[in-house]
Chain A
């Protein structure tokens, strides 16, 4: 399977780069300061450019996919979420997609039976894995914010404590670490096992999964296996936040691998399918109101089209119309 091996190989090479660079070439400054700053710039600028690039394109028609009863007669109950009529209802619908993956929750699995017949079973596994994956990542990113401030922000502190609820190892084990590994495994295995998914999947589908997996594994090894000293890392980030780019203290090489892979992810993000994170807010089938008969929607490039007017029509058919006793404008 070239599609799987190639991205794996790329990740392997990417891991070696900082290892060699720091261990043998002494490029600590490059990997700890220059690359992280540059990739952060690429991420922010790239994300913004992609969003603007979408936003400047007009939405000529109001095309929501209506998944519930429209607002019509007073005594018929409108489905406010699935067929939004007011702006705030559409916002609620989009937020439902962003935070709860509501459309994915509808997922079914179709199978053929004798007869022949089709049967549909509800299947929530993809939804569950997707939710687990994205929410775990969000919590992990937020709890990393403790590295960026000299006093830990309350939200990071809260998430950190909640995440360590099962205080079973030393240092305490994060639930999200286990969840994200489980979710990634499911998502990868699913792509490999389902023949439909095998056909659909591209190397660019495996690459980000493997990349995030590698980041997580590097991070977890630091915490649970090599038990890296986080103080120099914390210092390094804090000095960076003060705009002073001075390398301080000794940092384990595993940290450089972890950090470099995060940088790769940041750079890769705006140019890849990962931009779905921004695109989901703009989807015209979800973020528009289903009120196009009540309120006129404007198309900024509405073309002028010449159509066959009634006069032309009557000119073509006047005699036939008169014979059929149809009224005509001109005798």
Chain B
């Protein structure tokens, strides 16, 4: 395991000591603003490299580390932060409202996966927001200013910036707290503003900014150039042929295709994402879809979301731009979490209207996706659910009998889109063994993988394994009770981060994309006898005949 995380036994012991309480120690007599901020191995992400910042035109490029005493903040940084705060309060009612209306009832406190995993009081969503509120109250509303000391306000200092950096990077913008808040306060909104502000003075995270810079330059987070992108998918095509005897035929940057397919680049490059990609390719071949993949708009995800709303818009703009150039009718989007937060709640507002596209209609079933009438982008789980509902797929769910599944709702499609039934419908149709996790850990109450919103860095492993603990604990339950060995998700960051989490907390559970299971179950026309799934693992009951 990583050197940035304690042994599982040590962490277990720590939990054992404080149970059933969640707070890591006795804080009686202490005030949160007196608690020190301590950076140590495993609880901070490497800062953006100077060349990355220069490439993006971001301020204050320099070499530094969170453990440094002096963070080399630019001259006048206090003014930059205060002006930035003011401007955002003016542009976002949500931000102002969420700073003003909290009654500190504490309903959110034990809803955050980072609080549950770390026991650090400043990871209670209410205190996370108070980190900013305390500064906001000090400088802004008049009456609270008169009541200084009474209202818990404080001065903006370099220590406060360190604290912001620590705790706004221990929030994955998963929105679970906002489900429980009686005022509907969404900490994700506050974290987004805080990260924008920190970026203004060069306090940042390389694991977010490097993908942003890559995506701007090459079209995808991983920085894959066009020829390599094509090669990667072609090697998947070969794998598919070896396994099934079917040669699928994806096209790239093809004008006049009916549909543009966009998925996170993790599906093209990363394990186990590539198996999901193989699932898509098989599915599209199975139904004879007229689609193309772009090497320019080759990223579904959008780390701009974790940087600033301007950057989010800039990276997202490529989707419509490419769809227009290629003259497609509509866009089909792959499995991804934050990608769908952006596509569902932001894209049309930022970069629309996409009048050059048509209201999506499934060419196979004729179903009109009127729920995507304006954005013109359909989620592949909706698309596949519709295909299955109309009996257009030849499926053999027995081919997934070696997989005893449970389903992990990804935060963004759950709480930022409301997609719960479609993936479950697909999953139940492609496999025979499916068990839900405990009801407080799924659907709108789902727990984050602990590594979302650009915190999937190796050097952040300690916090990631703690943040993922609530999810892992829920998986553990179904693993023990129903022998579940397969965690199915519809999110690329989940596919990248959950395998590590499972290895740490629940060895024996593997992570799969939904469409990988679809790919396993599809009975292709003219296929050879299948004995292995897309990972080349033997399928139960399909062993080669002995003779």
Contact = CB atoms under 8 A, between A and B. Distances in A.
A324 B344 contact: no
B66 to A, nearest CB: 24
Contact of B89 (A57, A59, A77, A308): A57
Interface of B: 12, 15-16, 18-23, 26-28, 30-32, 89-94, 96-97, 100-107, 109-111, 116, 121, 124, 126-127, 130, 141-144, 147, 150-152, 175, 178-186, 189, 216-217, 219, 225-227, 230-231, 252-255, 295-296, 309-310, 313-315, 317-318, 321-322, 325, 343-346, 348-350, 352-353, 367, 369-375, 377, 382, 385-386, 389, 414-422, 425, 438, 440-441, 444-445, 469-470, 473-474, 476-477
A299 B312 CA distance: 14
A303 B353 contact: no
Contacts of B144: 271-272
Contacts of B477: 117
A326 B97 contact: no
Interface in A28-86: 50, 54-55, 57-63, 65-73, 75-77, 79, 82-83
B52 to A, nearest CB: 16
Interface of A: 6, 50, 54-55, 57-63, 65-73, 75-77, 79, 82-83, 97, 101, 103-104, 106-118, 120, 126, 130, 194-205, 207, 271-273, 275-276, 279-280, 282-286, 290-299, 301-303, 305-310, 313-314, 316-317, 320-321, 323-327
Contacts of B91: 57-58, 60, 301
Nearest to B89: A57
B349 A60 contact: yes
Chain A at the B interface: SS class: loop
Contacts of B418: 66-70, 79, 82-83, 290
A120 B440 contact: yes
B349 A200 contact: no
Given A97-B184, A103-B182, A196-B23, A116 B473 contact: yes
Closest 3 CB pairs of A and B: A66-B418, A70-B418, A271-B143
A104 B107 contact: yes
Contact of A286 (B116, B184, B419): B184
Nearest to B142: A271
A104 B104 contact: no
A324 B226 contact: yes
A66 B341 CA distance: 11
A308 to B, nearest CB: 6
Contacts of A76: 385, 421-422, 425
17 contacts: A60-B349, A61-B345, A63-B186, A66-B418, A82-B418, A82-B444, A106-B180, A111-B19, A115-B12, A200-B124, A204-B151, A273-B101, A279-B97, A279-B183, A284-B184, A303-B310, A305-B310
B94 A108 contact: no
Contact of A108 (B31, B382, B440): B440
